[in-house]
Amino acid sequence: MRLLVVEDDPDLNRLLTTALKEGGYVVDSAKDGEEGHFLGETEPYDAVILDLGLPEMDGVTVLQKWRKAGKTMPVLILTARDRWSDKVAGFDAGADDYVTKPFYTEEVLARIRALLRRAAGHASSELECGPVRIDTRAAKVTVNGAVVKLTSLEYRLLAYLMHHQGKVVSRTELVEHLYDQDFDRDSNTIEVFVGRIRKKLGVNVIETMRGLGYRLNPPGENAGDADA
């Protein structure tokens, strides 16, 4: 899952970016409203953390422009504790949730997980597909209760498919949501990682849709090619 942090305080920006990366997310960051608006307009993010008190363009304006342009990604706004009016303005502009400063990074991570779940139509922090289960709080994967060790990229790929279970996800979409903007993206590597994940899981839950991409389904419901 790919996130954007828009925060002008360099220390807070770095703190959030580091915590989110350690939580298993791909993270891009911006330090002013104009840069944040541009990235949100041109890159496909799964969620955004947006400070309202930004230079160049304030957060409410950034959010209004995104929503007017049809951008629907969940947005978590950051507000000062004593500025209740900012929260109202943020929600009216299209925000999905807020956190007041100062805050614990654990709360931000929990709220981001909740936003991502709701956006994908999931109510629980544990996602299941047949015998495969992902605990998004601990970034842990199990098959029939046994822990499966995946690399960070393998986990992100499986988690993205799990959040979009039953839907066909193209290789291009996976590349866009698994790598940050500076990474040398190559859709061919997706096939390699899918093959590795299948081998480690030991169950066929990832279906190849020839010419279209991949779909996650419980075992027995896959009718496509088993090869990556």
Question: pLDDT tens digits, residue range 25-42?
Answer: 999 999 999 999 999 999
pLDDT tens track for 171-183: 989 988 888 766 6
CATH number for the domain running over 2-120:
3.40.50.2300
Give residue for tokens 């996602």: 127
The pTM (predicted TM-score) of the whole model is: 0.79
Which residues are CB-neighbours of 151 under 8 A, at least 6 positions away? Answer: none
Mean pLDDT, rounded, for 45-58? 96
Contact call for residues 61 and 33 (beta carbons, < 8 A): yes
Cα dihedral value 171, 178, 50, 58, nearest 10: -60
With cut-offs at 50, 70 and 90, classify the pLDDT of residue 223: low
CA-based torsion, 86, 88, 91, 93: positive or negative = negative
Give residue for tokens 């100062």: 102
pLDDT of residue 183: 60
Cα dihedral value 214, 219, 225, 228, nearest 10: 50
pLDDT of residue 165: 92
- Supply the DSSP symbol for 8: S
Would the pLDDT of 137 be above 90? no
Contact call for residues 60 and 37 (beta carbons, < 8 A): no
Instruction: Parse the chain into domains and list their residue ranges.
Output: 2-120, 126-216
CATH number for the domain running over 126-216:
1.10.10.10
pLDDT tens track for 183-207: 665 657 888 999 999 999 999 899 9
